[in-house]
Amino acid sequence: MRLAYLSPLPPKRSGIATYSAHLLPELARHFDVVPMDFGAPIADPAAVDLLENASARADLRSFPARLYHLGNNPHYHLEIYRTLRDAPGVVVLHDTVLYYLMAGQGFGGLVLECCDNDGPAGVTAALAIRDAAPERDVLRYATPERYPLLQGVLRRAQGIIVHNDTARRQLEAASYKGPVAVIPHLSYPVGDAALSDPAQIASRKRAIGLDPEELHIGCFGFIGRTKRIEQVVRALELVAPRLPKWRLLIVGEGEAPDDLLRESPIGGRIVRLGFVGETDWNRYLGAVDLVLNLRHPSMGETSGSLMQAMEYGKACLVTDDAWVSELPDAAVVKIPYDHTEVRELAAQLARLAADPAARIRIGQQARAYCDTQCRPERAATLYAEFIRQVASANHGAPQSMAAQDQTSAANWLETYAIDRVRAGIKLPA
């Protein structure tokens, strides 16, 4: 079966591009896969650039199956979403809050999406968002979790793949009636040398210029407000007197609270490395002793950076919330999201800093979880079963949603206009 596979592809700076690079070779064992992306650069010579190839985009309807990877970054996923509108297929939903993806269409597009979700009331919601956003820039709106804006995707998805059961329940709450598959996020095999042996870690530290005598704590991935960097700094300030030799590495692009990092008394022990390529990412990940992956609020995502840290056999400290709560208690250290968060994080950092054996035990459990649940070949088999099931169920179904979209837009616009007229007319009592 031919499968159109639409996703950001390497070398784009996207965790989903890395995900696809590891899934595609295994998925090719099951399908005649045609990888597709929008805009150069694309490293895979067999991939199709749909931005440059309009005929290939038009030909999508001829594929028996189409797979769309959707995340929250409009730079990488907006054209994929627009293509889904015209040629429905199976959606891999990497986030269940898609506010930023939809806001990437500008204020006008955001209005349409809000109305697609909430009918005429969506106009009021979009205006409230714009007025609350800094400088009325809807991409800078601070509480996207209030507006998941999923309905545009749910109406077009023939089936949905998510990476955790929390996301599946969120789809149920959003009244999605189509088939859903929960397929754990990939971890990318790195060999037995990744196990948390102290001598191996010391060797990796020396190889990249780190002091092997220091305890290295790592935060990896896109750095945004949900990553709890302020709470991390406050916890490290509490525990610093008990950690004479340590350093925090922040690896990834994004917006860390730079003023806080500069003003903190431990600022000199914090190193911001910014974006690094996959090779350097793995070198730093292999060299740290502990990984912090705090997240709140959840956007329905599964953290690829956490999965890879677990693959490396790292002891990871995580927020006990949403999908992370589904992980085995022995495989991660769960930090409560409440008033005790900073104090508990500090206590666990002190405990693990002083107990290398405990770090190894937790890391071994994390690696075992990845071995049984997160291998690319296992995921590809589950993908193939689900895609074939959905393709069979949708054989002969309409291939375009354009007419339905127009009808939907007309309905909410008509209702909104009528409500506005009624509100403006003062009828006699």
Q: Closest by alpha carbon to 100, among 226, 259, 252, 211?
A: 226
Q: Which one-letter DSSP state was computed for residue 143?
A: -
- Other CB atoms within 10 Å distance of the CB of residue 56: 14
CA distances from 198 to 284, 330, 363, 393 (A): 15, 20, 12, 52
Q: Tell me what pLDDT residue 411 has.
A: 59
CA–CA separation, 223 vs 220, rounded Å? 8
Which of 258, 374, 275, 386 minimizes the C-alpha distance to 14? 275
pLDDT band at 402; cut points 50, 70, 90? very low
d(CA 246, CA 290): 11
DSSP structure string for 317-382: EEESSGGGGGS-TTTSEEE-SSTTHHHHHHHHHHHHHT-HHHHHHHHHHHHHHHHHH--HHHHHHH
The pLDDT tens digits of the residues spanning 69-91 come to: 999 999 999 999 999 999 999 99
Comparing CA positions, the residue from 161, 133, 141 lying closest to residue 100 is 141
Q: What is the pLDDT of residue 428?
A: 44
| Confidence band of 401 (pLDDT split at 50, 70, 90) | very low
DSSP element (H, E) containing 251: strand 246-251
pLDDT reading at 397 higher than 60: no
Class level of CATH domain 2-96+150-186+377-411: alpha beta
pTM: 0.88
Question: 168 — alpha (psi -120 to 50), left (phi > 0) or beta?
Answer: alpha
CA dihedral 292, 295, 301, 307 (to 10 degrees): 10
Helix (H) or strand (E) holding 124, with range, is: helix 121-132
- The whole-angstrom separation of Cα 159 and Cα 177 is 9
**Mean of per-residue pLDDT scores for the chain:** 90
Residues 345-354: tens digit of each pLDDT:
999 999 999 9
Rounded Cα–Cα distance for residues 163 and 80 (Å): 19
Domain segments of the chain as ranges: 2-96+150-186+377-411, 192-374
Buried b (16+ CB within 10 A) or exposed e, 184-209: bbbbbebeeebebeeebbbebbeeee
Determine the pLDDT at residue 405. Answer: 54
Q: Same CATH topology for 2-96+150-186+377-411 and 192-374?
A: yes
List of residues 6+ apart from 65 with CB closer than 8 A: 1, 2, 3, 4, 31, 89, 90, 387, 388, 390, 391
Are 227 and 219 a contacting pair, CB within 8 Å?
A: yes
Q: How far is CA 32 from CA 5, 53, 70, 219, 391, in A?
A: 10, 19, 21, 38, 14
Distance CA 153, CA 98 (A): 9
From residue 161, alpha-carbon distances to 4, 31, 215, 339, 390 in Å are 16, 17, 39, 35, 11
Over range 237-257, report the average pLDDT: 88
Question: Which CATH superfamily, name and number, covers 192-374?
Answer: Glycogen Phosphorylase B; (3.40.50.2000)
